[in-house]
Amino acid sequence: MAEKEKLTIVVFSGELDRALAAFMLATTGASMGMDVQMFFTFWGLNIIKKNEGSIKSKGIIRKMLNFMNRGGSKRLKLSKFHMLGLGTWMMKGLMKDINMPSIDEFITMAHEMGVKLIACTTSCGVMGLPEDAFRSEVDSLVGAAYFLGEARESKVSLFI
């Protein structure tokens, strides 16, 4: 059997709109039979943080950062027109109106379709995020070398 073609996406941004683009591409790729990996780094880690509970990180500065930058798929904002929540709330309504999944649903769907959700260890280190800060759908924590190794075997690599 021929090997599957690979699609590798770095998800650097933590905004609702960019997360949406990333999951649209990832699930479309999976439905086309591609082997898809999403590599979450920096603000992108917010997308795959648990929605409930608080993160226990060490040191006052990391505690502050994780308080401000709480994350979780339900807390993502639009990169434009957030307008104290009004714009983001409107966008979620528009998505529902055309039966588009929420980011929360997209994560579960992507996972069930075999998309690998991967967190960047280095970013976790900077931000003081322990492994249990992430949802159960997250497959593993790996470094940049793993990503590049996969990317160079991929037909398509994108940085979002």
Query: Distance between CA atoms of 86 and 90, rounded to whole angstroms?
Result: 6
Minimum gap (Å) between residue 144 Cβ and a copy of itself: 4
Q: For residue 137, count other CB atoms closer than 10 A to its CB.
A: 15
Please report, for residues 7, 34, 36, 149, 153, the alpha-carbon distance to residue 4 in angstroms, rounded to integers and kept in the order given: 10, 6, 10, 16, 11
Q: Does 54 bind a copy of itself (CB under 8 A)?
A: no
Q: Is 114 left (phi over 0), alpha (psi -120 to 50) or beta?
A: left
Q: Which of 21, 16, 5 is nearest to 160 (CA)?
A: 21
Query: Distance between CA atoms of 103 and 112, rounded to whole angstroms?
Result: 14
Query: Distance between CA atoms of 25 and 41, rounded to whole angstroms?
Result: 17
CB-nearer residue toward a copy of itself: 89 or 136: 89
Q: Does 41 bind a copy of itself (CB under 8 A)?
A: yes
Among 50, 62, 63, 75, binds a copy of itself (CB under 8 A): 62
**94 to 153, contacts with a copy of itself by CB under 8 A?**
94-95, 97-98, 100, 122, 125-128, 143-145, 147-149, 151-152
CB-nearer residue toward a copy of itself: 128 or 136: 128
Contacts to a copy of itself by CB under 8 A = 5, 7, 10, 12, 14, 17-18, 20-21, 24-25, 28-29, 31-32, 34, 41-43, 59, 61-62, 64-65, 68-69, 79-81, 90-91, 93-95, 97-98, 100, 122, 125-128, 143-145, 147-149, 151-152, 154-160
